[in-house]
């Protein structure tokens, strides 16, 4: 039984990503959307935390939100998979439930 | 009177509460959703983690801030057949709180057990 | 334009559906005046429900769902009263809506 966890807040402002990661299992996935996408870019102070998280769980980032913020020119953190809106829908259907960490 | 839920399928709903009361409207909205949803005879649980545990703190007194003290409504949930209130032990402990500080009987779960609880649900609603 | 009712020479603000704006304005006369407007005479049975609603609201800060109200009245007065029929006979406009209004509570969020 797996859950798609959606996080939409930047960890520089809110702790929801950390709160999410501390409570999910290796079969669960995390999709970063909206302001949360900033942390999927290499070079932030959270990069090493996310690298180790990516080793244990599936991490995704929504490309349209990356592009909207002008961050598409930066490499993503190792272990992240980029998805478009179709990929977002596919993730929703592949998991048993969705948990949006508001 | 109340109509039977036409879908007829009972699903398991969990409402996850992560915010303290009063500062934002999330906690009140969650509670109102639970109370309205209770009319549909579904299997409902609530889980309180992070600052959400403050929602259940006893002795809240909101007269001076002129807000409704909706924490009292948590004690009515039993009458709405919402009997499963889970609280994460670590969230309480990090905030210097214990089960004795809460206004209702709850079931404590460990952080590592939250995933198992969520895995049993059909629908997750987060506030 | 604001709405109001007159109770014992006092003007009390209501919303457009006749619910009291301020819970604290309530006194028994409010229920009598509201019932008169609806052409309804309040009996002891009506007052049982009004008093129950006020106590419930005081205790839990919410109006009970009809299901909860029905169960509670049945517990208090006997099983034969714990049904929708009895409450609807007392409050034909819908027990939750009409009785909550007379009790000075906010309009319930449910459907009856």
**Per-residue pLDDT tens over the stretch C46-62:** 999 999 999 999 999 99
User: Cα separation of C112 and C77, whole Å?
Assistant: 22
Residue B1 lies in a domain: no
User: Cα separation of B52 and B58, whole Å?
Assistant: 13
> Which domains, ranges and CATH numbers included, belong to chain C?
3-102 (1.10.10.370)
Question: Is residue C111 annotated as a catalytic residue, yes or no?
Answer: yes
Residue B102 lies in a domain: yes
What is the tens place of the pLDDT at every residue in B49-69?
Answer: 999 999 999 999 998 998 889
Taking CB atoms and an 8 Å limit, are A98 and B26 in contact across chains?
Answer: no
Please tell me the predicted confidence (pLDDT) of residue C78.
87
CATH classification at residue B77: 3.40.1260.10
- Could you write out the DSSP letters of every residue in C7-22? ETTEEEEE-TTS-BS-
Report the pLDDT averaged over residues B67-79.
Answer: 93
Domain with B121, as residue range(s), is 12-126
Please tell me the predicted confidence (pLDDT) of residue B10.
87
Residue B5 lies in a domain: no
Residue B96 lies in a domain: yes
Q: What is the mean pLDDT of chain A?
A: 96
Taking CB atoms and an 8 Å limit, are B126 and A100 in contact across chains?
Answer: yes
State how far residue B116 is from chain A, nearest Cα, in angstroms: 9
Residue B99 lies in a domain: yes
How many other C-beta atoms can be found within 10 angstroms of the C-beta atom of residue C57?
19
- Residue numbers of chain A with a pLDDT score lower than 50: none
Interior angle at CA B14, CA A27 and CA A81, nearest 5: 30
Please tell me the predicted confidence (pLDDT) of residue B62.
92
Q: What is the mean pLDDT of chain B?
A: 92
Report the pLDDT averaged over residues C98-112.
Answer: 82
User: Cα separation of C35 and A45, whole Å?
Assistant: 67
Residues 6+ apart with CB under 8 A from A45: none
Percent of chain B clearing pLDDT 90 (strictly above): 79
Task: State the DSSP code for B39.
Answer: G
User: Cα separation of C45 and C68, whole Å?
Assistant: 17
User: Cα separation of A57 and A20, whole Å?
Assistant: 12
User: What residues of C are in contact with residue B69 (Cβ under 8 Å)?
Assistant: 61
Number of domain units in chain B: 1
User: Cα separation of C66 and C96, whole Å?
Assistant: 6
Residue B2 lies in a domain: no
What is the tens place of the pLDDT at every residue in C64-97?
Answer: 888 888 988 888 888 888 888 999 999 998 888 8
C93: nearest CA partner in chain B? B1
What is the tens place of the pLDDT at every residue in C22-37?
Answer: 989 999 999 999 999 9
Give, in words, the CATH class of A3-101.
alpha beta
Taking CB atoms and an 8 Å limit, are B121 and A97 in contact across chains?
Answer: yes
Q: Do chains A and C touch (3 or more CB pairs under 8 A)?
A: no
pLDDT band at B117 (very low <50, low <70, confident <90, very high): very high
B19: nearest CA partner in chain A? A102
pLDDT at B7 over 70: no
Report the pLDDT averaged over residues B9-32.
Answer: 94
User: What residues of B are in contact with residue C60 (Cβ under 8 Å)?
Assistant: 72-73, 75-76
Q: What is the ipTM of this complex?
A: 0.84
């Amino acid at each position: 039984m797996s859950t798609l966890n959606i996080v939409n807040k930047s960890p520089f402002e809110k702790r929801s990503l950390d709160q999410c990661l501390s409570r999910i299992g290796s079969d669960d996935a995390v999709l970063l959307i909206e302001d949360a996408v900033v942390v999927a870019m290499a070079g932030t102070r959270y990069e090493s935390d996310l690298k180790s998280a990516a080793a244990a769980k599936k991490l995704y980032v929504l490309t349209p939100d990356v592009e909207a913020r002008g961050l598409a020119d930066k490499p993503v953190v190792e272990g992240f998979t980029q998805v478009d809106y179709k990929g977002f829908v596919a993730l929703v259907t592949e998991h048993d439930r969705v948990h949006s960490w508001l | 009177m109340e109509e039977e839920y036409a879908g007829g399928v009972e699903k398991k709903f969990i409402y996850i509460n992560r915010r303290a009361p009063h500062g934002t409207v999330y906690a009140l909205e969650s509670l109102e959703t639970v109370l309205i949803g209770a009319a549909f005879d579904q299997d409902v649980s609530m889980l309180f983690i992070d600052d959400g545990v403050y929602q259940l703190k006893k002795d809240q007194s909101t007269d001076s801030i002129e807000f409704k003290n909706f924490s009292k409504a948590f004690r009515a949930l039993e009458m709405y057949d919402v009997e499963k209130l889970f609280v994460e032990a670590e969230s309480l402990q990090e905030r210097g709180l214990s089960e004795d500080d809460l206004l209702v009987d709850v079931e404590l779960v460990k952080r590592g057990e939250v995933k198992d609880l969520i895995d049993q649900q059909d629908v997750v609603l987060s506030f | 334009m604001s709405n109001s009712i007159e109770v014992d020479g006092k003007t009390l603000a209501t919303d457009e559906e006749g619910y009291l704006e301020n819970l604290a304005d309530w006194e028994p006369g409010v229920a009598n005046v509201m019932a008169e407007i609806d052409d309804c005479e309040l009996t002891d049975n009506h007052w049982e429900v009004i008093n129950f609603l006020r106590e419930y609201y005081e205790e839990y800060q919410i109006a009970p769902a009809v299901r909860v109200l029905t169960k509670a009245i049945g517990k208090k007065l006997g099983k034969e009263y714990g049904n929708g029929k009895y409450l609807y006979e007392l409050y034909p406009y819908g027990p939750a809506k009409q009785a909550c209004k007379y009790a000075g509570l906010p309009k319930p969020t449910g459907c009856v």
